[in-house]
A = this chain, B = another copy of it.
Amino acid sequence: MSISSRFSVGIHILSLLEINKEGTNSSQFIANSVNTNPVVIRKIMGMLKKAGLVTVNPGIAGATPSRSLAEITLFDVYKAVEAVNENELFSIHENPNPDCLVGKSLQGAIEPIFNMAQLALEKVLQGITIKDVVDSLKSGNKVC
């Protein structure tokens, strides 16, 4: 199955905070751009807030990035919205037969491989910032 679209929505939110920084980025406004329900935005915004990426206050319309968008990587967003948990991108079948060599040892053999693959993916995300994405949006040029 796929990695939750919370991730792409999170990127959308942060990008919009920049593109519409002159305006007020209420959950309703953002939801209109993302094309979803404002509650979905508030829930994801809450995760971004918890991760220290955005500043939002109850009762006050709008949100702002908590630090420069050049200092927020896609990996930060990915962790914030729990797109994938630590070492859980791949799932491994549970309780294989311990009386069988394969059943007993497979998990230990493939876990490091899976972790390495996951890390390779995450390293790509660490190399790209929200600023890169926003620049790409403005210019029409691809980030990569």
Contacts and interface: CB of A to CB of B under 8 A. Distances in A.
Q: How many copies altogether? A: 2
A140 interface: yes
A39 interface: no
Interface residues on A, range: 35 or more
Given A103-B35, A109-B137, A143-B112, A12 B123 contact: no
A117 interface: yes
Interface in A62-105: 74, 84, 88-97, 100-103, 105
Interface class of chain A by DSSP:
helix
Given A2-B90, A5-B93, A8-B92, A120 B124 contact: yes
A36 interface: yes
